[in-house]
């Protein structure tokens, strides 16, 4: 299976900050990379698919970029509702893989 290495494991930010999370795949995943948000007690929610395409309903302060094996996800102007754990997911192969997650907390 393709391995996904996500960093950092945790992040502390103030309201209005910009934060960035990265994911590195163990092989080229051809931009088949999604980002998910999971708030406590809630099911995961897909924010971005195919590296940078915002899923319907995703605020424009979320963005994604990357290619090959290296991908990143950013939140500009962090809001209180963004406090959650974020995961990357590769779906290039028939077996999907999540990254280890990044927990975003408020300073």
Partner 1 sequence: QVQLKESGPGLVQPSQTLSLTCTVSGFSLTSYNVHWVRRTPGKGLEWMGVIWSGGNTDYNSALKPRLTITRDISESQVFLTMNSLQTEDTGIYYCTRNGWGGITDYWGQGVMVTVSS
Strand locations in 8-92 (E): 10-13, 19-25, 33-38, 45-49, 53-54, 62-67, 70-75, 85-90
Q: Least distance to partner 1 from the beta carbon of 51, Å?
A: 10
In the complex, the residues that contact partner 1 under the rule CB under 8 A are: 1, 32, 34, 36, 38, 43-46, 49-50, 55, 85, 87, 89, 91, 94-98, 100-101
Distance CA 88, CA 72 (A): 9
Of 8 and 100, nearer to partner 1 (C-beta) is: 100
Whichever of 25 and 89 has its CB closer to partner 1, that residue is 89
Residue with smaller CB distance to partner 1, 36 or 62: 36
Q: Is 68 helix (H, G, I), strand (E, B) or coil?
A: coil
Q: Which of 69/101 has CB closer to partner 1?
A: 101
HSE-up (13 A, CA, CB side) for residue 29: 31
Please report how close the Cβ of residue 1 comes to partner 1 at its closest, in angstroms: 5
């Amino acid at each position: 299976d393709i391995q996904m290495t996500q960093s950092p494991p945790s992040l502390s930010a103030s309201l209005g900050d910009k934060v960035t999370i990265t994911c590195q795949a163990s092989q080229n995943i051809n931009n088949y990379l999604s980002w998910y948000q999971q708030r406590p007690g809630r099911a995961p929610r897909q924010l971005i698919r195919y590296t940078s395409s915002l899923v319907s309903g995703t605020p424009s302060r979320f963005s994604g970029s990357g290619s090959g094996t290296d991908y990143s996800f950013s939140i500009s102007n962090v809001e209180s509702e963004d406090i959650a754990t974020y995961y990357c997911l590769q779906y290039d192969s028939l077996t999907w893989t999540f990254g280890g997650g990044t927990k975003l907390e408020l300073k």
